[in-house]
């Protein structure tokens, strides 16, 4: 070796340039470039050179010794990488030995072959660019899946090279999507849960959360990309349901098993029974998208309770709902019948055989979970007002009535100024054409007060069968007949005489009453001729009634029941001379909008939240309407049977009565001797409505001062 000291040259150049310090000072060899050595005496660098030139990919590293100039050739994608088919950027980097000046070639050699041979090439490679030892090329993969060997080498023999094995995945994942059949529940205690329609016995309910099971054998699945979209009717969807992989303890018959919990009340479902669709999409780790889907049956049928077992019992009055969602209703068969209490899941809580029920029930104010149940019953030739205990149906108070009479209508509930305790009020009809206004109030000094006409005084009208009673403060309003004339009258509780300006005479028999603002609104219908309509009277009374509907000059359409929703809209079944209709009348604009009905609607509609109104026809067809468009949303086409009592609506609850999440609620529909529960798209009553249902509120108080419960 010949040592060529460069120090003199460095110092000379430094001196010529006026420098007084050497240009390269070192402490160790690592401070010197190009394989130089550090002289420990002078702390100056010396470079060694080889007499024989080194190859372009080598450097002189020791005495006449050529060694690798490059420590590594790094290729990306790296060994074992899975790639998406198509154009792939291949990157190769020559890493230079520390302290040496690079001598990068103009190009590197790129080649790809299919592992294991076989038909087809390794695709095409096009070199793109060189940049400071980094070389990139574009590889267009051949069609189909495969494993390939990518080799990158120095262009001259003997130079560095590297080979990596790469997999190309061009096949998208496929998903098997299933929704298992629902367990409708085992019938028992008079309650049946399965939808009786063919094919819907194991359908999922609109208020349930259904598990969507997802399976795939895709080896490169990226579970984070899985999405589930639940689609209802009319293409409406609810996206974004997360997918959770099966627990390791659960069996999985595929490469990946997962489940998504979908809330069936979320997408639109404008049908009573139908199908929903679940669409699943996801990708593998290289971005190949895949999908799968399934459809499954969904129903609004929740349960039905048969209260007519052992006889021809019928439900004559709308059920009442307690504070915890318990449902109270009575049955009637001549002078026999029962009061039933059911939990929200349809389980029989108790039954009390007190007599035939026509009046009520109404539910009193809850006190620490206990609420009195007020009901008028008939047995043999007499009747009684009862207060039953909500816990077991036992009698808390019994107010017997005189012989030869019956309760034929509703019960109203409120506080009177005389007693300042909760009082239930009804009218007891005598067989001799007279009647008595009666009350019942547990815990009061006079628990069974009565209003009876004084001798020679004004006769109290005989209550119209099936008619409700409404009240506000001490004022009681009801419809009845006096000497063959149809009247609406009002009394102050405790006074034997009607209030001033009462009674008033409507066009025919009054079937329904409601207190709205400062007016009494009534519905009238003759059972013999097409006579009747909607009318109003000031709460203070007046010599004449004001016709609201029909808007012409005659009382030419029967109206039996009505509800008053928001924006001053009144909803009711109307029976003009030809056909039957479901009508909407606006109290402010006086505009009326009829819509055809498949049968007469004589019960009181229910106005729910979310702009829904619910009706039941006389033959048991149930329909949901859009309050704004006044058009049907869905219909239970099959008539369930004869309907005599109005439906009611409650919040979504679990079996204990606790509120649960969701935008749905439960519509309770009495048909014959059975009580049906259907899932609807209203989370309870419209609390902005002045009179949204029969007897105003779920408790059936018939009192506008009773707060409408919020389901929040």
pLDDT-derived band at 617, boundaries 50, 70, 90? very high
Strand 58-62 versus strand 44-46 pairing type: unpaired
For the chain, the domains span: 7-49, 71-169, 176-299, 302-680
End-to-end CA distance of the chain: 94
Distance CA 595, CA 572 (A): 11
Q: Is 390 exposed, middle or buried (0-12, 13-18, 19+ CB in 10 A)?
A: buried
Q: What is the arithmetic mean of pLDDT over 19-29?
A: 61
What's the pLDDT tens digit per position in 447-461?
A: 999 988 777 777 888
CA atoms in the 13 A half-sphere facing the CB of 292:
16
Mean pLDDT, residues 583-605: 96
Q: Is 235 helix (H, G, I), strand (E, B) or coil?
A: helix
pLDDT of residue 4: 36
Q: Is the pLDDT of residue 697 over 60?
A: yes
Apex 227 CA angle, 222 and 233, nearest 5: 160
Question: What is the percent of the chain with per-residue pLDDT over 90, rounded to a whole number?
Answer: 73
Do the domains 71-169 and 176-299 sit in the same CATH topology, yes or no?
A: yes
Please say if the pLDDT value at position 544 is more than 60. Answer: yes
Residues in the chain: 712
CA atoms lying within 13 Å on the CB side of residue 39 = 13
pLDDT at 12 over 50: no
Q: Which residues pair with 243 in a beta bridge?
A: none
Q: Which of 524, 414, 421, 517 is nearest to 469 (CA)?
A: 414
**pLDDT tens track for 486-525:** 999 999 988 888 999 999 999 999 999 999 999 999 999 9
pLDDT at site 118 = 59
Poorest-pLDDT segment among 128-137, 199-208, 309-318, 383-392: 309-318
Helix (H) or strand (E) holding 7: helix 7-16
* Alpha-carbon radius of gyration of the chain: 43
The CATH class for the domain spanning 176-299 reads: mainly beta
Integer Cα distance of 597 and 615 in angstroms: 10
Residue 63's pLDDT band (cuts 50, 70, 90): confident
CA distance 232 to 640: 26
Residue with tokens 């001062």: 705
pLDDT for 426: 95
Q: What is the pLDDT of residues 107-165, one digit of tens each?
A: 999 999 998 775 557 888 998 899 999 999 999 999 889 999 999 999 999 999 999 99
Whether 86 shows a pLDDT value over 60: the answer reads yes
Coil, helix or strand for 514?
A: strand
Whether 444 shows a pLDDT value over 90: the answer reads no
Query: For the domain 71-169, what is the CATH code?
Result: 2.60.40.10
pLDDT above 50 (res 187): yes
pLDDT band at 403 (very low <50, low <70, confident <90, very high): confident
Query: What residues have CB less than 8 Å from 227, skipping those under 6 apart?
Result: 239, 240, 241, 243, 280, 281, 282
Mean pLDDT for 360-370 is: 91
Distance CA 371, CA 389 (A): 7
Whether the CB-CB separation of 202 and 194 falls below 8 Å is answered with: yes
Per-residue pLDDT, averaged over 685-694, amounts to: 98
Positions of E strands within 442-545: 450-451, 462-463, 469-472, 475-482, 485-492, 510-516, 519-525, 532-538
Q: What is the pLDDT confidence band of residue 8, given thresholds at 50, 70 and 90?
A: very low
pLDDT digits (tens, 9 = 90+) for 288-323: 999 999 999 999 999 999 998 767 899 999 999 999
Calculate mean pLDDT across residues 541-562.
Answer: 94
- In a 13 Å sphere around the CA of 559, the CA atoms on its Cβ side amount to 32
Q: What is the pLDDT of residue 369?
A: 84
CATH class of 302-680: mainly beta
**For range 469-478, the mean pLDDT:** 95
- Three-state SS string over 562-619 comes to EEECHHHEEEEEEECCCCCEEEEEECCCCCEEEEECCCCCCCCCEEECCCEEEEECCC
Residue 13 is predicted with a pLDDT of 33
Per-residue pLDDT at 237:
73
Q: What is the pLDDT of residue 11?
A: 33
- pLDDT tens digits along 32-50: 766 667 877 788 887 667 8
The pLDDT assigned to 322 comes to: 97
Contact 555, 532 (CB under 8 A): yes
pLDDT of 528 higher than 70 = yes
Among 39-48, 83-92, 162-171, the minimum mean pLDDT is found in 39-48
Partners of 407 in the beta sheet?
428
pLDDT, mean of residues 459-482: 91
List of residues 6+ apart from 40 with CB closer than 8 A: none
H/E run at residue 16: helix 7-16
Give the C-alpha separation, 298 to 204, whole Å.
5
Question: Bigger pLDDT: 17 or 25?
Answer: 25
Q: What tokens does 666 get?
A: 């439960």
Phi, psi of 7 (to 5 degrees): -60, -45
- Tokens, residue 245: 């992989």
How many separate helices (H) and strands (E) can be counted in the chain? 1, 55
Q: What is the pLDDT of residue 119?
A: 53
Q: What gap in Å lies between CA 217 and CA 282, rounded to an integer? A: 13
3-class SS string, 191-202: EECCCCCCCCCC
**φ, ψ dihedrals at 527, nearest 5°:** -85, -5
When pLDDT is cut at 50, 70 and 90, the band that residue 15 belongs to is very low
Question: Residues 179, 211: contact at Cβ < 8 Å?
Answer: yes
Tell which residue, 360, 349, 301, 412, has the closest CA to residue 668.
301
- What pLDDT shows up at residue 364? 96
- When the pLDDT of each residue in the chain is averaged and rounded to a whole number, the result is 90
Q: How many whole angstroms separate alpha carbon 699 and alpha carbon 694?
A: 10
Question: 456: Cβ–Cβ under 8 A, 6 or more apart, which residues?
Answer: none
The CA distance from 622 to 620, in Å, is 6
CB 606 within 8 A of CB 635: no
Q: Token pair for residue 59?
A: 């450097």
Q: Going by C-beta distance under 8 Å and a sequence separation of 6 or more, which residues neighbour residue 572?
A: 523, 534, 549, 559, 560, 561, 562, 563, 582, 583, 585, 601, 605
Q: How far apart are CA 118 and CA 472, in angstroms?
A: 92
Burial readout 195-233 (b: 16 or more C-beta within 10 A, e: otherwise): beeeebbebbbbbbebebbbbbebebbeeebbbbbbbbb
Q: What does each C-alpha distance from 693 to 397, 534, 602, 661 come to in angstroms? A: 28, 16, 13, 24
pLDDT above 60: residue 2: no
Residue 300 phi/psi, 5-degree rounding, is -95, -5
Query: Which residues are paired to 652 by β-bridges?
Result: none
Identify whether the C-beta of residue 370 lies closer than 8 Å to the C-beta of residue 389. Answer: yes
Residue pair 241/282 in contact (Cβ under 8 Å)? The answer is no
Structure tokens belonging to residue 257: 């098993």
**pLDDT (average), residues 676-685:** 98
Tell me the CA distances in angstroms from 178 to 172, 214, 234, 294, one per residue in order: 19, 7, 22, 6
Q: Which residues contact 672 (CB under 8 A, 6 or more apart)?
A: 308, 314, 315, 640, 641, 642, 643
The phi and psi torsions of 40 (rounded to 5 degrees) equal -70, -20
What would the two tokens of residue 188 be? 């028992």
pLDDT at 247: 63
């Amino acid at each position: 070796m010949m040592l060529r000291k460069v120090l003199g040259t460095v110092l000379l150049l430094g001196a010529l340039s006026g420098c007084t310090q050497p240009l390269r000072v070192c402490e160790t060899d690592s401070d010197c470039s190009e394989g130089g050595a550090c002289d420990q005496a002078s702390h100056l660098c010396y470079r060694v050179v080889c007499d024989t030139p080194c190859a372009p990919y080598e450097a002189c590293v020791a005495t006449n010794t050529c060694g690798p100039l490059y420590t590594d050739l790094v290729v990306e994608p790296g060994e074992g990488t899975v790639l998406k088919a198509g154009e792939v950027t291949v990157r190769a980097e020559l890493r230079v030995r520390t302290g040496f000046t690079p001598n990068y070639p103009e190009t590197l050699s790129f080649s790809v072959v299919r592992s294991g041979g076989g038909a087809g090439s390794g695709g095409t490679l096009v070199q793109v660019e060189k940049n400071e030892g980094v070389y990139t090329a574009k590889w267009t993969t051949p069609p189909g899946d495969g494993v390939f060997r990518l080799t990158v080498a120095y262009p001259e023999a003997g130079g560095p090279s590297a080979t990596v094995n790469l997999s190309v995945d061009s096949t998208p994942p496929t998903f098997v999507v299933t929704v298992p059949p629902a367990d409708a529940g085992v019938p028992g205690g008079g309650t049946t849960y399965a939808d009786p329609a063919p094919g819907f016995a194991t359908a999922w309910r609109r208020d349930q959360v259904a598990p969507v099971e997802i399976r795939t054998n895709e080896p490169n699945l990226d579970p984070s990309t899985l999405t589930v979209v639940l689609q209802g009717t009319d293409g409406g969807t609810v996206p974004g349901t997360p997918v959770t992989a099966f627990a390791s303890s659960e069996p999985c018959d595929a490469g990946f098993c997962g489940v998504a919990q979908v809330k069936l009340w979320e997408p639109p479902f404008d049908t009573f029974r139908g199908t929903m669709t679940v669409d699943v999409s996801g990708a593998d780790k290289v971005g190949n998208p895949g999908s799968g889907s399934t459809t499954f049956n969904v129903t609004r049928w929740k349960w039905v309770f048969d209260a007519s077992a052992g006889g021809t019992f019928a439900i004559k009055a709308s059920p009442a709902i307690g504070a915890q969602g318990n449902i109270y209703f009575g049955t009637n068969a001549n002078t026999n019948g029962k009061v039933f209490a059911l939990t929200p899941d349809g389980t029989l809580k108790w039954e009390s055989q007190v007599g035939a029920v026509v009046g009520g029930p109404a539910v009193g104010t809850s006190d620490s979970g206990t609420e009195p149940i007020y009901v008028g019953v008939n047995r043999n030739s007499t009747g009684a007002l009862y207060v039953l205990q909500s816990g077991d149906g036992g009698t808390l108070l019994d107010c017997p009535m005189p012989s030869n009479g019956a309760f034929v209508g509703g019960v109203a509930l409120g506080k009177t100024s005389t007693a300042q305790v909760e009082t239930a009020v009804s009218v007891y009809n005598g067989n001799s054409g007279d009647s008595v206004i009666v009350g019942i109030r547990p815990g009061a000094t006079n628990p069974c007060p009565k209003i009876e006409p004084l001798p020679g005084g004004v006769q109290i009208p005989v209550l119209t069968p099936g008619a409700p009673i409404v009240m506000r403060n001490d004022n009681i309003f009801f419809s009845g007949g006096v000497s063959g004339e149809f009247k609406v009258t009002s009394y102050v509780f405790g006074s034997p005489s009607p209030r001033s300006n009462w009674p008033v005479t409507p066009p025919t028999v009054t079937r329904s009453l409601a207190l709205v603002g400062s007016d009494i609104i009534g519905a009238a219908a003759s059972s013999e001729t097409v006579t009747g309509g909607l009318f109003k009277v000031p709460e203070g009374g007046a010599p004449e009634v004001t016709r609201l509907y029909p808007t012409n000059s005659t009382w030419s359409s029967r109206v039996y029941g009505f509800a008053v929703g928001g924006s001053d809209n009144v909803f009711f079944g109307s029976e003009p001379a030809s056909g039957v209709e479901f009508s909407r009348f606006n109290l402010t604009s006086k505009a009326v909008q009829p819509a055809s009905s498949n049968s007469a609607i004589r019960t009181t509609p229910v106005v729910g939240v979310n702009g829904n109104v619910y009706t039941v026809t006389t033959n048991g067809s149930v329909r949901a309407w859009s309050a704004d468009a006044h058009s049907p949303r869905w219909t239970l086409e099959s008539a369930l049977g004869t309907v005599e009592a109005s439906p009611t609506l409650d919040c979504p609850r679990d079996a204990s009565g606790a509120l649960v999440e969701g935008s749905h609620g439960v519509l309770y529909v009495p048909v014959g001797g059975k009580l049906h529960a259907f899932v609807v798209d209203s989370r309870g009553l419209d609390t902005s409505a002045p009179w949204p249902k029969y007897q105003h509120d779920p408790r059936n108080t018939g009192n506008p001062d009773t707060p409408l419960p919020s389901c929040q």
